Amino acid sequence: MKRNKKERKPRYRGIAEFLCALVAIACFGGVWLFDTHYNPDKMTNLVVIGFLALAFISVSAFIILVFKSHEAKKAVRKPTGPVLGSIMYDMVNNSNEPALIHDENKKIIWYNKYALNLSNSPLLGAKLSSIIPAPVPEETDKRNFSTVIGDITYTVESTKIISGSKMYKLLMFKNITELVNLKQFIKDEDLVVCYVIVDNLEELLQFEQERYREAAAKIETLVREWCNEANGILKEYEKDKYLFFFKTVDLEKFIEAKFEILDKVRDIRVGSGNIPVTVSVGVSKVKGNLAEKERAAHVALDLALQRGGDQAVVKYDEGFEFYGGKTNTVHKRTKVRARVAANKLAGLMAAASNVIIMAHKYPDYDAFGASIGLARLAMFCGVKVNIIVDAKNPNIKKTLKFFDKDDKYRGVFVDSARGLDLVRSETLLVIADVNNPDMFESIDIYDNVYNTVIIDHHRKTSEFARKPLIEYIDPGSSSASELVSEMLEQAFPPSTLQHREANMLLSGILLDTKQFTKGVGTKTFAAAMFLRDNGASYEDIQDLFKTNIEDYKQEATFGQQIDIYRHCMAIAVSYDAGTDRTLAARVADNLLGIEEVAASFALMQIGDTVHISGRSNGTVNVQLILEKLKGGGRFDAAGAQVKASNVRQVLLKLKEAIDEYLDPED
Non-local (6+) Cβ contacts of 525 within 8 A are: 516
CB 216 within 8 A of CB 170: no
Q: How many residues does the chain have?
A: 666
Q: Which letter does DSSP use for residue 459 in this model? A: P
Average of per-residue pLDDT values in the chain: 81
Mean pLDDT confidence for 541-565: 76
Q: Which letter does DSSP use for residue 547 in this model? A: -
Mean pLDDT confidence for 415-423: 93
**648: confidence class by pLDDT, cuts 50, 70, 90:** confident
- In a 10 Å sphere around its CB, with 0-12 CB exposed, 13-18 middle and 19+ buried, how is residue 430 labelled? buried
- In a 10 Å sphere around its CB, with 0-12 CB exposed, 13-18 middle and 19+ buried, how is residue 492 labelled? middle
Mean pLDDT confidence for 115-130: 82
Q: Which letter does DSSP use for residue 277 in this model? A: P
Which has more pLDDT, 47 or 569? 569
Which has more pLDDT, 495 or 571? 571
The percent of residues above 70 in pLDDT, for the chain, comes to 80
Express each pLDDT in 248-267 by its tens digit. Answer: 889 988 988 889 998 898 88
**Side chain identity at 165, as an amino acid letter?**
S
3-state secondary structure 339-351: HHHHHHHHHHHHH
Distance CA 464, CA 446 (A): 11
What does pTM read for this prediction?
A: 0.61
Residue 429: its pLDDT value, please? 96
**Of 71-75, 108-112, 147-151, 470-474, which one has max mean pLDDT?**
470-474
Q: Residue 155: name the closest of 143, 170, 171, 144 by CA.
A: 144
Express each pLDDT in 258-312 by its tens digit. Answer: 899 988 988 887 766 567 788 899 999 988 888 999 999 998 998 888 777 888 9
- Containing 254, the helix (H) or strand (E) segment is helix 248-256
Express each pLDDT in 92-102 by its tens digit. Answer: 777 788 888 88
β-bridge pairing 609-616 and 599-606: antiparallel
Q: Residue 310: name the closest of 650, 652, 642, 635 by CA.
A: 635
Express each pLDDT in 142-197 by its tens digit. Answer: 567 888 888 888 888 888 888 777 888 888 898 888 888 888 888 878 889 999 99
Which has more pLDDT, 367 or 548? 367
Distance CA 122, CA 107 (A): 12
Residue 77: its pLDDT value, please? 46
Backbone angles phi, psi at 404, to 5 degrees: -60, -40
Residue 512: its pLDDT value, please? 86
Q: SS3 for 329?
A: coil
Non-local (6+) Cβ contacts of 209 within 8 A are: none
**For residue 330, pLDDT beyond 60:** no
CB 614 within 8 A of CB 625: yes
Which contacts (CB < 8 Å, 24+ apart) does range 48-56 have? 52/27, 52/28, 53/27, 55/23, 55/27, 56/23, 56/24, 56/27
Q: SS3 for 463?
A: coil
**Side chain identity at 536, as an amino acid letter?**
A
Which has more pLDDT, 49 or 537? 537
Instruction: Count CB-CB contacts under 10 A for residue 216.
Output: 18
Mean pLDDT confidence for 539-543: 80
Q: SS3 for 376?
A: helix
Q: Calculate ∠ Cα 467-471-475, nearest 5°.
A: 135
